[in-house]
Amino acid sequence: MDRRLFLIGGLALAGCSTLPPAPQGASPQLTLDQAFLGRKTGTGLFRVTLTGAERRFTARLHGKLSRSGTRLTVVEDFVYDDGQKDQLTWVFDRQAAGGWIGRRDDTVGHAIVTEENGVVRLAYTADFKSLSGVTRLGFQDVIYRADKGRIVNDAVVSRLGIPVGTVKFIIQG
């Protein structure tokens, strides 16, 4: 029994430490407001690691910065490959240099955002509704500039601290 508990605990800790890799080499500087300000579109793919199941989506983003520059609101309109539509709205408040705190209707607590070395990192937990109920998932996102003016958002998705999937979302400028 103790061995099983130790193994489960170890897997949970390993899952908590799993982060998407940051891009290799020099990447042009990127901040949260640069990534999401204005009108943008993107395409994405959610993949379940264990089964390989995939769900594709497109999203239209509209980001507005307050006059003071301390609050960023981003409206995300999603259309999934099965026809489902969803709208989520992020509200981010600027903290100390290189940091933001965010929230959205489905987040549990606050999202923590850091900006370092040209990369934006976003960590949050959200409750997702489905036909079978609500599932609580953790997200660890790395957002960076890519070629041709694109912005890439790579995420590791976890459940109970164990990685269960990935998301890749590519935003066109």
pLDDT tens-place string over residues 26-68:
567 899 999 999 999 999 999 999 999 999 999 999 999 999 9
Q: What is the pLDDT of residue 21?
A: 66
SS3 content of the chain, % helix, strand, coil (to 5): 15, 60, 30
SS3 state at 153: strand
pLDDT of 1 over the 60 cut? no
Alpha helices, DSSP H, located in the chain: 2-16, 32-36
Q: What is the pTM of this model?
A: 0.84
Asked if CATH classification 2.40.128.20 holds for the domain at 2-172, the reply, yes or no, is: yes
Please state, in angstroms and rounded to a whole number, the distance separating the CA atoms of residues 145 and 119. Answer: 8
State which amino acid sits at residue 131: L
Residues in Cβ contact with 14 at an 8 Å cutoff, skipping those fewer than 6 apart: 162
